[in-house]
Chains A and B, each alone.
Chain A
Amino acid sequence: AQTVTQSQPEMSVQEAETVTLSCTYDTSESDYYLFWYKQPPSRQMILVIRQEAYKQQNATENRFSVNFQKAAKSFSLKISDSQLGDAAMYFCAYSTGTASKLTFGTGTRLQVTL
């Protein structure tokens, strides 16, 4: 069974600084997808960034980028120039290429301080 592990229950970053959230996963599949979702206090689940396993190039989306290490099964999220609005729970998630479901990690609560 696939598992997703987020080893940092909480992280804190100062405004304008950079923070990296860790995620590791376990799978025997070769075709899969990885995601980072953000859940602010409003409870809404918002897709931040997505990575296809077959792509070697790390995905980027404005201030958000990932460090995808396929051999190590690691998928960390880097947030640059952190903003107060980045404060939220961040969930790493995994999906195989054929199954229509997401397996989530336990989340990392990110605090952004002035």
Chain B
Amino acid sequence: DTAVSQTPKYLVTQMGNDKSIKCEQNLGHDTMYWYKQDSKKFLKIMFSYNNKELIINETVPNRFSPKSPDKAHLNLHINSLELGDSAVYFCASSQDLVSSSSYNSPLHFGNGTRLTVT
């Protein structure tokens, strides 16, 4: 009964390939996110969707395309993978705006997907 689940946990692929990371939340939240954590552990938001609508796109290359078939899912598709895409990608969800969420868990994170591009 994991709240935010993302698959796969690890992904190793070669440069130039296209890959997808899936994310699902069973919390009934309206907003979902993708964050990227680089090799120096720095976390930065990539995208945010609210009720399937894109609301934040933080100057992420066009090779990254999020897809939200419904508000419980936010998948991340990456085209033409590059070495610099190697990172840990976190999916997250919140009830609505971060500030209006309950104290106990304003933002629920998945366990991350470690992407390695060789």
Contact = CB atoms under 8 A, between A and B. Distances in A.
Interface string B38-77: 0011111100101000011010000000000000000000
Contacts of A52: 99
A91 to B, nearest CB: 6
A50 B43 contact: no
Interface residues of A, number: 26
A45 B40 CA distance: 16
Given A43-B112, A47-B107, A100 B50 contact: yes
Contacts, number: 70
Nearest to B43: A104
B40 A106 contact: yes
A103 B43 CA distance: 8
20 contacts: A33-B98, A33-B99, A35-B106, A43-B88, A43-B111, A44-B109, A44-B111, A45-B109, A47-B107, A50-B103, A95-B98, A95-B106, A97-B97, A98-B97, A99-B56, A100-B96, A101-B33, A101-B45, A101-B98, A107-B41
Interface of B: 31, 33, 40-45, 48, 50, 55-56, 58, 88, 90, 92, 94, 96-99, 103-107, 109, 111-112, 114
